[in-house]
């Protein structure tokens, strides 16, 4: 067979070389290959991928810098928190030492007088300040007696390198030390007001502060002239006071020193044997009267002040304990208490100072 080639003269056949279509600015965005024929991922041009990679690496660097800066800030806050806690704990210890020193010095002054206690005040303040802080890192100034019957103690942090408290993390911020201190003021004096543990009042006729054991009987013992302006002859021993409602005790203030009495030997009905037994061997604060008047339900006592009494025994109708003590026995129809008046200093905030000195002193913190 004779195959003849088709005649193509005058006809331009360019199917495989047709002119290219014009490109738009977005064409490469939809192509799966670049100009070199390399396949892109998800239709993203290779150049764009490189740009995104560079952007991510740049972001990582920025985050690292930001984290570093935040760590510095966080460390600063941690330093402040730790050192503030250290300062607070040190101040608490210093305050405990100052309180202890002020109270101890006030007790000494209440017992022996201000002149005598001042000679030992500085040493006692330093000893107690150091004893109440870690490693004894405290210094106490010389105690100050600014007002009558008061003492003020000031203590501060101090270690072997000097005054102040050495800080920890804050040193990085240029703060190696800081001053930490505390102050306490204590006062002392005799009672002006308070609550008597049992509702009775002793006569000043038998008030004896030598510590000698005594038997004090109901309306018994030697009489004496009142030390008040009345000049009355008052009974010895003791008398019952009208108790507060429903309790075996009575609140007393020298601002209203005239108190209604309760007549008769028997104890007030508000008082049980348990009330008296609870006081055996204890030092109790009880009122002393310097005047008395009227009889029966209209009777009264004028309270002079408060004294400290150590109760060792008693005998009342239907109630008794350790009442046979030789020369100080109270048996049969005897109604009385056995014990002794003593000098006594207490830290009892239930009493208010300001009364005459009958040996019972109150010490308390005022600042």
Mean pLDDT value across the chain? 84
3-state secondary structure of 132: coil
First to last CA, the chain: 133
The number of beta carbons lying within 10 Å of the beta carbon of residue 348 is 14
Highest mean pLDDT among 62-66, 84-88, 125-129: 125-129
Model pLDDT for residues 56-71, shown as the tens digit of each residue: 555 566 677 777 778 7
pLDDT > 70? residue 214? yes
Q: What is the DSSP letter of 257?
A: -
8 A C-beta contact, residue 207 and residue 359: no
What is the reported pLDDT for 241?
A: 96
Model pLDDT for residues 287-300, shown as the tens digit of each residue: 999 999 988 889 99
Model pLDDT for residues 331-354, shown as the tens digit of each residue: 999 999 999 999 999 887 666 778
147-153-155 Cα angle (round to 5): 155
Which one, of 236, 264, 265, 274, lies nearest residue 332 by Cα?
265
pTM of the model: 0.68
CA–CA gap between residue 182 and residue 158 (Å, rounded): 13
Which one, of 244, 241, 220, lies nearest residue 301 by Cα?
241
CA–CA gap between residue 272 and residue 34 (Å, rounded): 109
Flag the least confident range among 88-97, 98-107, 173-182, 247-256. 173-182
Strand duo 250-253 + 233-234: pairing: unpaired
Which one, of 176, 151, 172, 144, lies nearest residue 163 by Cα?
176
Average pLDDT of the residues in 174-189: 92
What is the reported pLDDT for 61?
A: 62
What is the reported pLDDT for 52?
A: 52
What is the reported pLDDT for 347?
A: 83
Structure tokens at 17: 């070389």
């Amino acid at each position: 067979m004779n195959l003849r080639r088709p005649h193509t003269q005058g006809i331009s056949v360019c199917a495989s070389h047709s002119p290219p279509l014009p490109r738009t600015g977005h064409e490469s965005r939809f192509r799966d290959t670049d100009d070199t024929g390399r396949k892109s991922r998800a239709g993203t041009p290779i150049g764009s991928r490189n740009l995104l990679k560079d952007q991510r690496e740049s972001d990582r660097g920025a985050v690292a810098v930001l984290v570093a800066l935040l760590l510095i800030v966080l460390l600063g806050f941690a330093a402040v928190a730790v050192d503030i806690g250290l300062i607070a704990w040190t101040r608490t210890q210093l305050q405990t030492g100052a309180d202890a020193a002020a109270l101890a010095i006030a007790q000494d002054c209440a017992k022996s007088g201000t002149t005598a206690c001042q000679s030992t005040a500085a040493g006692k303040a330093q000893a107690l300040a150091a004893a109440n802080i870690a490693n004894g890192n405290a210094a106490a100034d010389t105690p100050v007696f600014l007002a009558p019957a008061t003492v003020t103690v000031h203590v501060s942090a101090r270690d072997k390198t000097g005054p102040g408290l050495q800080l920890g993390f804050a040193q990085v911020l240029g703060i190696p030390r800081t001053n930490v201190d505390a102050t306490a003021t204590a006062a002392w004096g005799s009672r002006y007001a308070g609550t008597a543990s049992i509702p009775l009042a002793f006569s000043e006729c038998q008030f004896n502060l030598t510590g000698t054991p005594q038997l004090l009987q109901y309306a018994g013992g030697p009489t004496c002239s009142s030390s008040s302006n009345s000049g009355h002859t008052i009974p010895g021993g003791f008398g019952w006071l009208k108790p507060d409602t429903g309790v075996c005790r009575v609140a007393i203030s020298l601002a209203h020193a005239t108190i209604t009495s309760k007549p008769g030997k028997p104890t007030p009905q508000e008082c049980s044997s348990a009330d008296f037994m609870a006081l055996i061997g204890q030092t109790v604060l009880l009122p002393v009267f310097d005047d008395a008047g009227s009889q029966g339900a209209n009777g009264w006592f004028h309270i002079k002040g408060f004294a400290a009494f150590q109760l060792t025994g008693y005998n009342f109708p239907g109630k008794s304990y350790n009442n046979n003590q030789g020369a100080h026995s109270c048996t049969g129809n005897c109604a009385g208490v056995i014990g002794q008046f003593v000098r006594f200093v207490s830290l009892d905030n239930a009493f208010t100072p300001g009364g005459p000195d009958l040996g019972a002193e109150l010490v308390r913190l005022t600042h």
